[in-house]
Amino acid sequence: MKLLHIDTSILGQNSVSRQLTQIIVARVREAHPGIEVRYTDLGAEPLEHLSGAHLAAAQGTTPESAIILRDLERSRRALEDFLAADILVVGAPMYNFTISSQLKAWIDRICVAGKTFRYTDSGPQGLAAGKKVIVASSRGGFYGPQSPAAALEHQESYLRGVFGFLGITEVTFVRAEGVNISPDQRQAAISAARAEVAELAA
Ligand SMILES: Cc1cc2nc3c(=O)[nH]c(=O)nc-3n(C[C@H](O)[C@H](O)[C@H](O)COP(=O)(O)O)c2cc1C
């Protein structure tokens, strides 16, 4: 059994989602001793934005630069790790109402026609069914359906949509919300998320 652990926060030691992914992975390890864990820190080592030069090189033209060559290799590895994983633990901070651009760059590498989805006569079909995703979601404010900012929630809804598009229906969110409202709210949100992790049916 394989687990892919991805962090994407740019806030280093102060990151809430990093705290949460760490304890989620520990929880899954507890439930599945011997599980093989692969760790990718996209905050520390981001993938390049997907570019025309990258697409051209992926289709077989000679890479324009050493940067593209290296990126192509990292892209291949990202897709390989995604396809191999049974469980994904993904750190997803909200930045400007959506996911981090680091996480988006990774999504751009795993959404590959013919590998993780395909188009059929009856519409798109996800090819990554059977994987389980646990998302550690952290955000400064509140975005629940009843909140005034609900219309700006493009983080969890986006991730559920993308993973669903790839055929993954088992997506669980562990959420720390309102972490920038006050120190007390931050602590309460982290404690509540930690309690949720303890209850996770890994
Ligand atoms: C660049 C940046 C943009 C942010 N944008 C939002 C936002 O749009 N909405 C929000 O509620 N919080 C926002 N925040 C607060 C983060 O969601 C919050 O700090 C959260 O803990 C981020 O996850 P992390 O600690 O794992 O990085 C932003 C923070 C940063 C650094």
Mutate which of 180, 181, 185, 190 for ligand 1? The one with the most ligand atoms within 8 Å of its CB, which is: 180
Are residues 97 and 154 in contact, defined by beta-carbon separation less than 8 angstroms?
yes
| CB-side neighbour CA atoms (13 Å) of 8 | 24
Sequence spans of domains, the chain: 2-198
Looking at the CA of residue 152, tell me the nearest atom of ligand 1: 8
Beta-strand runs (E) in the chain: 2-7, 36-41, 87-93, 117-120, 123-126, 132-139, 170-177
Determine the Cα–Cα distance for residues 51 and 115; give it in Å rounded to an integer. 19
Taking alpha carbons only, the member of 83, 115, 91 closest to residue 9 is: 91
Q: What is the pLDDT of residues 133-165, one digit of tens each?
A: 999 999 999 999 999 999 999 999 999 999 999
Cα–Cα distances (Å) from 78 to 3, 42, 103, 105, in that order, read 13, 11, 12, 11
| Region label for 148, one of left (φ > 0), alpha (ψ between -120 and 50) or beta (otherwise) | alpha
Predicted confidence at residue 192, as pLDDT, reads 98
Q: What is the mean predicted confidence (pLDDT) over 182-194? A: 98
Q: What is the mean predicted confidence (pLDDT) over 20-29? A: 98
Let me know if domain 2-198 sits in CATH 3.40.1410.10: no
Tokens at 86, concatenated: 């049974």
Specify the residue for token string 């590895």.
77
Looking at the CA of residue 141, tell me the nearest atom of ligand 1: 11
| Three-class secondary structure of residue 185 per DSSP | helix
Predicted confidence at residue 201, as pLDDT, reads 76
Q: What is the mean predicted confidence (pLDDT) over 118-127? A: 96
* Beta-bridge partners for 98: 95, 154
Smallest CA separation from ligand 1 atom 8, residue? 96
Tokens at 76, concatenated: 């291949």
* Beta-bridge partners for 39: 5
| Three-class secondary structure of residue 127 per DSSP | coil
Say what the pTM is: 0.96
Mutate which of 15, 42, 89, 96 for ligand 1? The one with the most ligand atoms within 8 Å of its CB, which is: 96
Amino acid at the residue 170: E
Determine the Cα–Cα distance for residues 109 and 85; give it in Å rounded to an integer. 15
Predicted confidence at residue 33, as pLDDT, reads 95
Q: List Cβ neighbours of 199 (8 Å cut-off, separation of 6 or more).
A: none
